[in-house]
A and B are shown apart, each in its own frame.
Chain A
């Protein structure tokens, strides 16, 4: 049987599995809260694998090995540093966010900010900024299109369409439950693939006359070897301080809506430790997939686009069936990220903009069954609409996946890091400080990075071309501004602050009560 035939066989099996999970998820989805958060439903290890899979995304499998193929070992600083930044940020806020989010009954990151600061303006600003997640979705669809092209022999555009149809088909049925369980399973597959790639690198598999990592290094052009740490001609790795900013930029990665809402699904605050341990260890491991890009270069493989190096390398190294299985597993990882993104974008429309903003403005009852039903409908319509727009946007394949991804999410991280991190820890943070910081840091990110990226003006190197450096400084600015400007605004009511910052109760620790404290919910 050919690679293509094996690929289609595995794809059908994978599709059937997704539908199965989607249908099971649908049975658990009774309210819009089940759909949006799967609140209090999963233990730390399931959510840890799921979270790792979403954080890693298609970029870890295609974009980052692509960078390593193009620039050599120095590209490894990105996947070795970014998980550290992300998991430090996660460690800092996961437990507080879970506790406070449950008390407020928040269903998404923008909703949480609106509830935390009692500010509809902040909720709307965070929701609108979060629509930038569509860039993230676009990069996942482009990665899927390339995978279908390489492994299944399908035209790139047809691959993009097939990917979005697959994701939408089961997201419409399942919501957060389907999202979390499929991500966890796919996280396990991703881990297995990473271990295989690391092993292949260590024994120099496929490198002529090679038997160790040193042989892989020796087979590379001099400027790509492991003793070369930076390259002034490559904005992402131009100097040490740019690498430090890359690390800092990822602290606030967790403020993206498709990640922040995962904490609400934890079965009690007591599961946080298990969640952090498993997600960070596995997340750091899958980062080493970049070694596949280095190995591919050392093997002398030629590819049309650097992002295709991992699937092409599998085809060179493995029997057809095994290469197809691994490629489909990667595809499933990419789709797992795409479904989480679609889920979050749908919540921006259904919950943040419709229910918590529109219905509230019209004086309706936010918790009525009718509003719940309509919010579900709006969410599902949002999934279809966003999916179509994102697929059309990448009908011509983008040049570099990981950069496309960051153009959008850099804006989200820049504006939300300050309000989220400061608000979770500081009782005197105010809505004025948070709104001013979110708007100013987003404007700053736009001025130094998005403006040049959209071709409005040239900008200043490296900020114009390096989204990590731009996000790093913009998010730090957000934290500083939230701290400095909060005292200028009206303090939040003492009972709201005290109820939110109160110690974790035994029920909250065990997850035996997921109902928010009435005093907090009614007043939010």
Chain B
């Protein structure tokens, strides 16, 4: 495995972590999971 391949695998793992975070962030937010802004007002 060359240096670029190792780096790209690490970046892909970060991508997975970011997707997990985005999902977690949405679930733990008080407002992100609520209806769109127009509906709330």
The answer on a CB contact under 8 Å between B2 and A227 is yes
Q: Which residues of chain A are within 8 angstroms of B10 by Cβ–Cβ distance?
A: 80-81, 84
The answer on a CB contact under 8 Å between A80 and B18 is no
A110-118, A132-140, A268-276, A355-363 - interface stretch: A268-276
Inter-chain CA distance A226–B18, complex, in Å, is: 28
Contact residues on A (Cβ < 8 Å of other chain), bracket: 20 to 34
User: From DSSP, what is the main secondary structure of chain B's interface residues?
Assistant: helix
Nearest-neighbour CB distance to chain B for A48, whole angstroms, equals 13
Q: Is A504 part of the contact surface with B, judged by Cβ < 8 Å?
A: yes
Nearest-neighbour CB distance to chain A for B20, whole angstroms, equals 10
A262-292: CB near B (< 8 Å → 1, else 0) gives: 0000000110110011001000100000000
The answer on a CB contact under 8 Å between B30 and A73 is no
The answer on a CB contact under 8 Å between A280 and B18 is yes
Q: Is A373 part of the contact surface with B, judged by Cβ < 8 Å?
A: no
Nearest-neighbour CB distance to chain B for A496, whole angstroms, equals 21
A112-128: CB near B (< 8 Å → 1, else 0) gives: 00000000000000000
B1-41: CB near A (< 8 Å → 1, else 0) gives: 01110111011001001100110011001111000010010
Q: Is A77 part of the contact surface with B, judged by Cβ < 8 Å?
A: yes
Interface residues of A in 59-110 (CB under 8 A from B): 73-74, 76-77, 80-81, 84, 87-88, 91, 95
Q: Tell me whether A509 and B30 are in contact in the complex, defined as CB-CB below 8 angstroms, given that A226-B3, A227-B2 are known contacts.
A: yes
The answer on a CB contact under 8 Å between A284 and B11 is yes
Q: Which residues of chain A are within 8 angstroms of B26 by Cβ–Cβ distance?
A: 273
The answer on a CB contact under 8 Å between A80 and B30 is no
Q: Tell me whether A77 and B7 are in contact in the complex, defined as CB-CB below 8 angstroms, given that A273-B25, A504-B29, A506-B40 are known contacts.
A: yes
Inter-chain CA distance A284–B17, complex, in Å, is: 14
Q: Is A27 part of the contact surface with B, judged by Cβ < 8 Å?
A: no
The answer on a CB contact under 8 Å between A273 and B22 is yes
Q: Is A24 part of the contact surface with B, judged by Cβ < 8 Å?
A: no
Inter-chain CA distance A88–B14, complex, in Å, is: 8
Inter-chain CA distance A229–B10, complex, in Å, is: 14
Nearest-neighbour CB distance to chain B for A227, whole angstroms, equals 5
Q: Which residues of chain A are within 8 angstroms of B29 by Cβ–Cβ distance?
A: 269-270, 504, 509
The answer on a CB contact under 8 Å between B31 and A270 is yes
Q: Which residues of chain A are within 8 angstroms of B6 by Cβ–Cβ distance?
A: 77, 229
Q: Is A374 part of the contact surface with B, judged by Cβ < 8 Å?
A: no
The answer on a CB contact under 8 Å between A73 and B3 is yes
The answer on a CB contact under 8 Å between B14 and A270 is no
Closest partner residue, chain A, to B37 (CB atom): A510
User: From DSSP, what is the main secondary structure of chain A's interface residues?
Assistant: helix
Q: Which residues of chain B are within 8 angstroms of A510 by Cβ–Cβ distance?
A: 31, 37
Q: Tell me whether A91 and B2 are in contact in the complex, defined as CB-CB below 8 angstroms, given that A80-B11, A81-B10, A506-B30 are known contacts.
A: no
Inter-chain CA distance A84–B8, complex, in Å, is: 11
Inter-chain CA distance A291–B32, complex, in Å, is: 39
Inter-chain CA distance A284–B10, complex, in Å, is: 11
Q: Which residues of chain B are within 8 angstroms of A91 by Cβ–Cβ distance?
A: 17-18, 21
The answer on a CB contact under 8 Å between A88 and B37 is no
Q: Which residues of chain A are within 8 angstroms of B14 by Cβ–Cβ distance?
A: 84, 87-88, 280, 284
Q: Which residues of chain B are within 8 angstroms of A76 by Cβ–Cβ distance?
A: 3-4, 7
Inter-chain CA distance A270–B21, complex, in Å, is: 14
Q: Which residues of chain B are within 8 angstroms of A217 by Cβ–Cβ distance?
A: 2
Inter-chain CA distance A78–B2, complex, in Å, is: 15
Inter-chain CA distance A124–B4, complex, in Å, is: 43
Closest partner residue, chain B, to A285 (CB atom): B11
Q: Which residues of chain B are within 8 angstroms of A270 by Cβ–Cβ distance?
A: 29, 31-32
Q: Which residues of chain B are within 8 angstroms of A213 by Cβ–Cβ distance?
A: 4
Q: Tell me whether A74 and B3 are in contact in the complex, defined as CB-CB below 8 angstroms, given that A80-B10, A284-B11, A506-B30 are known contacts.
A: yes
The residue from B4, B22, B31 contacting A509, defined by CB atoms under 8 A apart: B31
Q: Sample 22 A-B pairs with CB under 8 A, ordered by A number.
A: A73-B2, A74-B3, A76-B3, A77-B7, A80-B8, A80-B11, A84-B11, A88-B17, A226-B3, A227-B2, A270-B31, A273-B25, A273-B26, A273-B32, A276-B18, A276-B21, A276-B22, A277-B18, A277-B22, A504-B30, A509-B29, A509-B31
Give the B-binding residues of A (Cβ under 8 A).
Answer: 73-74, 76-77, 80-81, 84, 87-88, 91, 95, 213, 217, 226-229, 269-270, 272-273, 276-277, 280, 284, 503-506, 509-510
Known A-B contacts: A84-B14, A284-B11. Give 15 more (CB < 8 A).
Answer: A73-B3, A80-B11, A81-B10, A213-B4, A226-B2, A226-B4, A269-B29, A270-B32, A273-B22, A273-B32, A277-B22, A504-B29, A504-B30, A504-B31, A506-B30
